[in-house]
Chains A and B, each alone.
Chain A
Amino acid sequence: MEGLRSMEKIRMILDGVRDGNIVILEEGLSPDEESKLIEVTMTEISPDDFTGIEIETYPREEASDQSLLDRLMGRESTETLTVIGPANQIETLHKDDQLISALVSRK
């Protein structure tokens, strides 16, 4: 996704989700891109076809991911994993400290 413009990223995510895939982003989205993702998702919802998305973000802030300097300076890693899937196929999308789990139905 590196090098893509915001709308290109959103288009790629929604195309993947609408094809029934679960999209995993290794670097997450910026707040502005998240805002646009919600807005574009809403414009694409249609009865009995696409009901929207489930989204969960997993912060990777373990100390092992950070350099010694970052830890000494108290800087936290802002890298995130974001999981996005079709709302009508994901029964549950759950996050805990170590894991994101998704229960998916093949409708």
Chain B
Amino acid sequence: MGLLTNLKDSVSRVTDRLFASEDPKRIGIYGPPNAGKTTLANRIARDWTGDAIGPESHVPHETRRARRKEGVDIERNGQSVTIDIVDTPGVATKVDYKEFLDHDIEKDDAIRRSREATEGVAEAMHWLREDVDGVIYVLDSTTDPFTQVNTMLIGIIESRDLPVLIFANKIDLDQADIDRVADAFPEHETVPLSALEGDNMDEVYDKIAEYFA
């Protein structure tokens, strides 16, 4: 009987593997520095797994390594979508350690941070070219979205035929201008939210399930 049970278990494991759903999609959270990417990643991870991904800060380039949270199950309308969230460092074309000095950081630490930040941006670009299946592009809706970095990154994402959602973050602030973000990238869907306050997260999860399922 033991042999028969083992054989049955083996067959069951093989069929489970054969008919299992696809691997979770890796969704990269991209955007310029200080757009609220890690705040959003933490919000999603806390809502669905109970854990955070990384520290949040108002200091630019706080996230200097891509961080991944695997197997985040998001349930919408009776269905479940499983994604791996990749929180990436803010993308820039320049990093000057002197900018960190304005945040009461000592010179040696500022130089170390800037070096790590440059490595992080390079890593983020590599992830975008090789290792993500979809992109959440986060913008601070209180700032001008018509920047060269945003235009370049959206162009890179489009050239790779990756599904992309634009998230207009920080709508809890008075200066937020959602229409300006939507006008900047009219060919993509823009979802307003405040990752910090948790505003409009129902629509955020609806769209994630719709785009990345």
The interface of chain A, by Cβ under 8 A from chain B, is 30-32, 34-36, 38-39, 41-43, 45, 47, 51-57, 87-88
List 13 additional A-B contacts (Cβ < 8 Å) besides A52-B92, A52-B94: A34-B156, A35-B128, A38-B91, A39-B122, A42-B121, A45-B94, A47-B97, A51-B95, A52-B95, A52-B96, A53-B94, A54-B94, A88-B96
Measured CB to CB, the closest approach of chain B to A24, in angstroms, equals 15
Report whether over half of chain A's contact residues are helix, strand or loop; otherwise say mixed: mixed
Give the residues in chain B near A43, CB-CB below 8 Å.
118-119, 122
Q: State whether the Cβ of B21 lies closer than 8 Å to any Cβ in chain A.
A: no
Identity of the chain A residue whose Cβ is nearest the Cβ of B89 in the assembled complex: A42
Across the A-B interface, give the 9 residue pairs with the lowest CB-CB distance, nearest first. A52-B94, A87-B94, A31-B159, A42-B122, A42-B118, A51-B96, A39-B125, A31-B156, A39-B122
The interface of chain B, by Cβ under 8 A from chain A, is 91-97, 111, 114-115, 118-119, 121-122, 125-126, 128-129, 148, 151-152, 155-156, 158-160
Identity of the chain A residue whose Cβ is nearest the Cβ of B92 in the assembled complex: A52
Give the residues in chain B near A55, CB-CB below 8 Å.
93, 148, 152
Give the residues in chain A near B92, CB-CB below 8 Å.
52
Give the residues in chain A near B158, CB-CB below 8 Å.
31
Given A32-B129, A45-B114, A55-B148; A38-B97 close (CB under 8 Å): no
Q: Please tell me if the beta carbons of A42 and B129 are within 8 angstroms of each other in the complex.
A: no
Give the residues in chain B near A30, CB-CB below 8 Å.
159
Give A57 to B155 CA distance when docked, in angstroms: 12
| Listed residue (B111, B125, B128, B129) with the most chain A CB atoms within 10 angstroms of its CB | B125
Give A57 to B151 CA distance when docked, in angstroms: 9
Give the residues in chain A near B97, CB-CB below 8 Å.
47
Give A32 to B155 CA distance when docked, in angstroms: 9
Give A53 to B151 CA distance when docked, in angstroms: 16
Q: Please tell me if the beta carbons of A41 and B148 are within 8 angstroms of each other in the complex.
A: no
Give A36 to B121 CA distance when docked, in angstroms: 11
A-B contact pairs, 17 of them (CB 8 A): A32-B156, A34-B156, A35-B128, A35-B152, A35-B156, A38-B93, A38-B121, A38-B125, A38-B152, A39-B125, A42-B118, A45-B94, A45-B114, A47-B115, A51-B94, A51-B95, A52-B93
Given A34-B155, A35-B156, A43-B122; A54-B93 close (CB under 8 Å): yes
Give the residues in chain B near A53, CB-CB below 8 Å.
93-94
Give A56 to B156 CA distance when docked, in angstroms: 15
Give the residues in chain A near B95, CB-CB below 8 Å.
42, 45, 51-52
Q: Please tell me if the beta carbons of A32 and B159 are within 8 angstroms of each other in the complex.
A: yes
Measured CB to CB, the closest approach of chain B to A80, in angstroms, equals 11
Q: Please tell me if the beta carbons of A47 and B111 are within 8 angstroms of each other in the complex.
A: yes
Q: Please tell me if the beta carbons of B129 and A35 are within 8 angstroms of each other in the complex.
A: yes
Identity of the chain A residue whose Cβ is nearest the Cβ of B157 in the assembled complex: A31
Give A98 to B155 CA distance when docked, in angstroms: 22
Identity of the chain A residue whose Cβ is nearest the Cβ of B129 in the assembled complex: A35
Q: Please tell me if the beta carbons of A39 and B126 are within 8 angstroms of each other in the complex.
A: yes
Give A57 to B128 CA distance when docked, in angstroms: 21
